[in-house]
Chains A and B, each alone.
Chain A
Amino acid sequence: MERTDKPLLKLENINVTFPVKKDFPFQKRRFVKAVSDVSLEIYPGETFGVVGESGCGKSTLANTTLGMQKVDSGKIFFEDKDLTVMNKRELKEVRRSMQMIFQDPFSSLNPRFSVFDIVSEPLRIKGGYTQEEMRALVAEMLAEVGLSEGDLDRFPSDFSGGQKQRIGIARALILKPKYLVCDEPVSALDVSVHAQILNLLMDLQEKFHITYLFISHNLAVVKRICDRVIVMYLGKVMEYGNVERIFKNPVHPYTKALISAIFDTDIDCPRERAKLKGEVPSPINPPAGCRFCGRCPEECPECSQGEPPLVEVEEDHFVACIRHTSLGEKA
């Protein structure tokens, strides 16, 4: 199926590096390549997953899509407008339709603000609302996320983790954004509350037609709620495309390892797990060639010769591995 709709958000060859503190004076400056040469397209109404181990650049990538992270090179298009060339005022304008919810609801809400203050802050920044209008809008939004009007004047400390996350969601949605970044929205919460928040996010998406960028390290959750996904390793895209296709037929050895590293909870069919050797190397000196060299079970001498290009193996399924033809057949 060829996509006819235009992408809501498009990244083109994004590179982001951070300077590293010097160990001693006169040392050559070193950089961490947090995101290197990432291109992707996010379509309206879909949930786009970003997975990878810690330090692989997931959060940097998310910040980049919001124009919050200065990029070294590359272009970010949001509804065909390039964020990288905008000035502060224009950015502020665009950001009204892009919002974010954070991992830790305990630290992302100001403890001295009442719920009304927190949720109405975006309205106040936008301006043009009277106090009564704001109160009505906030109350309406609170009802959408499963809180009540009576909670308006309470403070974050009165709420449980799940409810705080709901406040965070209400704040993000009050301006009716088109695009919402969810950076590990449930990992700080209790297990029994995970399902509530994920269900709420799915319901709100359907109701308000929001596009999600969903960061998670839990592949099973990503599989369950995302439409398309990007698998990152040390700042590079390893595999990218339709969730169903990637999980059914993972081609890149890293994706295979990630999928098999999740413990399954189906007691009747225990799966054989492919184990990865070693740990994630330092992003300051990533391995030459394919970044996955050194941990890859399918490594061959050519792998360290150069960075593998992203190749389309089937429709909406891209892989960066030079051995994709042979590996794909085996799978």
Chain B
Amino acid sequence: MNALEVKNLKVIFPTEMGIVRAVEGIDIEIEQGKCAAIVGESGCGKSVTSLAVMKLLSTPPAIVRVDKLELGGTDIKGLTDKQMQKVRGKDVAMIFQDALTALNPVMQVGKQIDEIFLAHNLSDGENGKTGRVNRKKEAKRRTIEALKLVGISDAELRYKAYPHQLSGGMRQRVLIAMAFACNPNLIIADEPTTALDVTIQAQVLDVLKDLQRKRNTSLMLITHDLSIVMNMADEIYVMYCGKIVERGTTREIFKDPLHPYTMGLLGSIARIGDAKSRFVQIPSSLPSPIHKPSGCYFHPRCQYAGERCKTEMPPLEKLEGGRCVRCWNYKEIKNGKNG
């Protein structure tokens, strides 16, 4: 059973300038206990995808269409907002990019984590006692446990701290503690470490990975940073302009990228072993989301583009082992590289 199954998700934003097709029919499957990464540049629809899965997009303005949306086998496609509230936090949780805006600035961080236990009635007495006071006590005990779990020292003291009193890394840990609080099946992490320094980023990601493995939680990691992906993910979805252009295991994508866009992305990152040299570059820049190119969206930037690429959008071709690629010429490109 998959922790998350999405079939043919479409998200459209009608704007004054024109219609923005943010997500154009994508399928995602995440196995229980696995980490899938969605990689792409800004505006490719990766964050919108995550919000749509959480059903957090406000409609209107957004128009969301999906054929199948299942969390751990349960259909959440038709759930109302009220019913979704019971699911969020308990079955699926989210870690946001900027911890300072995700946390309430005038509330102690401990109290904010308590809320999750209280909202899902999870603090009803293990010791058989119920009642408001006991529930609050139990919630606090669990919160402190959760804070310790993400490596926050003096958890009792930090419970009473306000977000501004914590450093960036600590705040991100609090968010992780919050996400794991109710032991959800699936956690969506939207650029969890972009706002952090490199050394802190390494610490925070280690905590995340560690907890994910221990609890056998599934993780949907949304990022533009390929180096994080290699160390965290089992499977990678590469998105470009609202479409998935390539899907494969981490090893396949890094060792043997098939889509020219993936190749370009991999070529443009610096590796620590490199000598001083030029980068492989993808020419020009991202197209406007309102006026996407005809045919394959990547063809104006693609060095392998042919006549067919300019007029026809290639299908997402399924190869063996769950590997997918959206390119007319991937075979020729591959043969050309080897030959």
User: Measuring CB to CB, which residues of chain A are less than 8 angstroms from any residue of chain B?
Assistant: 53-54, 160-163, 190-196, 198-199, 202, 217-221, 223-227, 243-244, 247, 257-259, 261-267, 270, 273, 275-276, 279-280
> Which residue of the partner chain A has the closest CB to B270?
A220
Number of CB contacts from chain A to chain B under 8 A: 126
> Which residue of the partner chain B has the closest CB to A192?
B282
A167 vs chain B, min Cβ distance (A): 13
* B276-A190 in contact (CB<8A): no
A109 vs chain B, min Cβ distance (A): 16
Q: Which residues of A contact B225 (CB under 8 A)?
A: 191
Interface centre among B42, B251, B265, B272 (most CB of A within 10 A): B272
Give 4 A-B pairs besides A263-B227, A267-B250, A267-B251 with Cβ atoms closer than 8 angstroms: A191-B41, A196-B283, A227-B276, A261-B202
- Cβ-defined partner of A262 (8 Å) among B168, B198, B206: B198
The CA of A53 and the CA of B274, in the complex, are separated in Å by 22
Q: Which residues of B contact A220 (CB under 8 A)?
A: 227, 269-272, 274
If the complex has contacts A219-B198, A279-B169, are A195 and B282 also in contact, measured as CB distance less than 8 A? yes
**Number of contact residues on B: which range applies?**
35 or more
- Cβ-defined partner of A192 (8 Å) among B167, B203, B286: B286
If the complex has contacts A196-B281, A199-B279, A224-B279, are A191 and B224 also in contact, measured as CB distance less than 8 A? yes
If the complex has contacts A160-B286, A196-B282, A264-B227, are A276 and B269 also in contact, measured as CB distance less than 8 A? no
> Which residue of the partner chain A has the closest CB to B198?
A261
Is residue B13 contacting chain A, with contact meaning CB distance below 8 A? no
* B206-A223 in contact (CB<8A): no
* B201-A261 in contact (CB<8A): yes
The CA of A224 and the CA of B301, in the complex, are separated in Å by 24
The CA of A279 and the CA of B204, in the complex, are separated in Å by 11
| 11 cross-chain CB contacts under 8 A | A194-B279, A195-B281, A195-B282, A223-B272, A224-B276, A227-B276, A262-B227, A263-B230, A267-B254, A275-B203, A276-B202
If the complex has contacts A53-B197, A263-B231, A264-B272, are A161 and B279 also in contact, measured as CB distance less than 8 A? no
The CA of A223 and the CA of B274, in the complex, are separated in Å by 7
* B281-A259 in contact (CB<8A): no
Q: Which residues of A contact B276 (CB under 8 A)?
A: 224-227, 243
Q: Which residues of B contact A279 (CB under 8 A)?
A: 167-170, 200
* B270-A221 in contact (CB<8A): yes
> Which residue of the partner chain A has the closest CB to B267?
A195
Q: Which residues of A contact B266 (CB under 8 A)?
A: 265
The CA of A276 and the CA of B201, in the complex, are separated in Å by 11
B222-246 residues with Cβ-Cβ distance < 8 A to A are 224-228, 230-231
State the main secondary structure of chain A at its contact with B: helix
The CA of A224 and the CA of B167, in the complex, are separated in Å by 31
- Cβ-defined partner of B272 (8 Å) among A163, A194, A195, A219: A219
B172 vs chain A, min Cβ distance (A): 11
Is residue B268 contacting chain A, with contact meaning CB distance below 8 A? yes
Is residue B285 contacting chain A, with contact meaning CB distance below 8 A? yes
> Which residue of the partner chain B has the closest CB to A198?
B279
**Closest 9 CB pairs between A and B?**
A195-B268, A195-B279, A220-B270, A263-B227, A195-B281, A53-B197, A160-B285, A261-B202, A224-B270
- Cβ-defined partner of A191 (8 Å) among B199, B200, B251, B268: B268
Q: Which residues of A contact B291 (CB under 8 A)?
A: none
Is residue B277 contacting chain A, with contact meaning CB distance below 8 A? yes
Q: Which residues of A contact B255 (CB under 8 A)?
A: 267
* B285-A202 in contact (CB<8A): no
Q: Which residues of B contact A196 (CB under 8 A)?
A: 281-283
* B268-A192 in contact (CB<8A): yes
* A193-B167 in contact (CB<8A): no
Q: Which residues of B contact A198 (CB under 8 A)?
A: 279
Q: Which residues of A contact B42 (CB under 8 A)?
A: 190
Is residue B337 contacting chain A, with contact meaning CB distance below 8 A? no
* B197-A280 in contact (CB<8A): yes
* B268-A194 in contact (CB<8A): yes
Interface centre among B228, B230, B261 (most CB of A within 10 A): B230
Is residue B273 contacting chain A, with contact meaning CB distance below 8 A? yes
Is residue B33 contacting chain A, with contact meaning CB distance below 8 A? no
* B265-A262 in contact (CB<8A): no
> Which residue of the partner chain A has the closest CB to B272?
A220
The CA of A24 and the CA of B125, in the complex, are separated in Å by 46
Is residue B82 contacting chain A, with contact meaning CB distance below 8 A? no
The CA of A223 and the CA of B269, in the complex, are separated in Å by 12
- Cβ-defined partner of B270 (8 Å) among A218, A244, A258: A218
If the complex has contacts A190-B42, A191-B41, A196-B283, are A265 and B269 also in contact, measured as CB distance less than 8 A? yes
* A275-B206 in contact (CB<8A): yes
Q: Which residues of B contact A221 (CB under 8 A)?
A: 270
Interface centre among A163, A191, A261 (most CB of B within 10 A): A191
* A163-B285 in contact (CB<8A): yes
Q: Which residues of A contact B214 (CB under 8 A)?
A: none
B298-334: CB near A (< 8 Å → 1, else 0) gives: 0001000000000000000000000000000000000
Q: Which residues of A contact B230 (CB under 8 A)?
A: 263-265, 267
* B202-A273 in contact (CB<8A): yes
The CA of A244 and the CA of B250, in the complex, are separated in Å by 30
B151-176: CB near A (< 8 Å → 1, else 0) gives: 00000000000000001111000000
A235 vs chain B, min Cβ distance (A): 16
The CA of A249 and the CA of B330, in the complex, are separated in Å by 41
> Which residue of the partner chain A has the closest CB to B43?
A190
A199 vs chain B, min Cβ distance (A): 5
Q: Which residues of A contact B227 (CB under 8 A)?
A: 220, 262-265
The CA of A243 and the CA of B270, in the complex, are separated in Å by 15
> Which residue of the partner chain A has the closest CB to B39?
A191
B168-217 residues with Cβ-Cβ distance < 8 A to A are 168-170, 197-203, 206
Q: Which residues of B contact A263 (CB under 8 A)?
A: 202, 227-228, 230-231
* B282-A262 in contact (CB<8A): no
Is residue B264 contacting chain A, with contact meaning CB distance below 8 A? yes
- Cβ-defined partner of B280 (8 Å) among A195, A243, A265: A195
